[in-house]
């Protein structure tokens, strides 16, 4: 419903920042992502699938619209996006993933699916500090130093725009939650997505104190054990070649 927004300007990534990765073992598929979601969920038992959303929620929303019955197959939807006290990173009020397609986010949030949200409030606590990067460089494999190099370039490219928050890790926070949920703390709250206001479109309106008395619909995390998170990350990366 809105023009597509992408993040090249934020990441400022160049070919020098990328690893030489092997070609994927699975060839490019002709099936649309929405149809893949529907087919996969339809073949699953009720309440058995954990779905991770690391970007805008367009495809998930379209799957719910096209085949509403698939929502019942989802045990938990873990969303990297939104913010409460941290507010926005693409506008004063909105986080990027929600802002890109707030109408899709509204559909997903209102779907009744069990949702856990990992917002900027959490990811901005996960800073790749120099000592943490140094630990990755000493892992003795190819992966550790390569990840440290990527994170160093990521921070360097964004430092001028957002300062120390350029060191934050976002997407890995979702997977870490699934592997070790005890690292995270939050509360059950009501979240609504603003889709109308030109000033605040894409804002996650988090009723942290329950003042609206609206029904809770999201497990919203707001703190994380950053030391434990980086210990987990280092432990997992150490197992790779």
Residues annotated catalytic, as ranges: 170
Q: How many CA atoms lie within 13 A of 16 on its CB side?
A: 5
Residues making up the chain, counted from first to last: 241
Say if residues 158 and 12 touch (Cβ distance below 8 Å).
yes
* DSSP codes joined into one string, 70-101: GGGGEEEEEEE---SSS--SSSSS--HHHHH-
d(CA 221, CA 231) in angstroms, rounded, equals 20
**Cβ neighbours for 124, distance < 8 A, ≥ 6 positions apart:** 86, 165, 168
Q: State residue 187 phi and psi, 5-degree precision.
A: -155, 160
Strand duo 218-224 + 115-118: pairing: parallel
**Which position has the token pair 């994170």?**
151
What is the rounded distance in angstroms from the CA atom of residue 225 to the CA atom of residue 93? 26
User: CB of 71 within 8 A of CB of 107?
Assistant: no
């Amino acid at each position: 419903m809105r023009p597509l927004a992408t993040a090249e300007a934020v990441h400022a990534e160049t070919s020098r920042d990328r690893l030489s990765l092997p070609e994927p073992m699975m060839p490019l598929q002709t099936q649309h992502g929405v149809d893949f979601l529907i087919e996969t969920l339809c073949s699953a038992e009720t309440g058995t699938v954990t779905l991770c959303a690391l970007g805008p929620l367009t495809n998930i929303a379209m799957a719910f619209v096209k085949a509403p019955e698939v929502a019942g197959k989802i045990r938990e939807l873990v969303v990297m996006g939104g913010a409460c006290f941290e507010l926005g990173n693409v506008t004063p009020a909105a986080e990027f993933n929600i802002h890109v397609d707030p109408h899709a986010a509204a559909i997903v949030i209102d779907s009744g699916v069990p949702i856990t949200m990992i917002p900027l409030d959490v990811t901005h606590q996960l800073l790749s500090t120099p000592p943490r990067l140094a630990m990755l460089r000493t892992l003795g494999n190819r992966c550790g130093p390569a990840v440290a190099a990527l994170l160093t370039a990521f921070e360097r490219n964004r430092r001028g725009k957002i300062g120390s928050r350029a060191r934050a890790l976002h997407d890995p926070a979702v997977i870490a939650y699934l592997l070790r949920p005890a690292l995270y703390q939050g509360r059950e709250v009501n979240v609504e997505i603003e889709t109308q206001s030109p000033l605040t479109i894409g804002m996650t309106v988090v009723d942290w104190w329950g003042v609206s008395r609206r029904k809770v619909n999201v497990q919203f995390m707001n703190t994380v054990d950053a030391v434990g998170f980086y210990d987990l990350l280092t432990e997992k990366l150490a197992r790779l070649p």
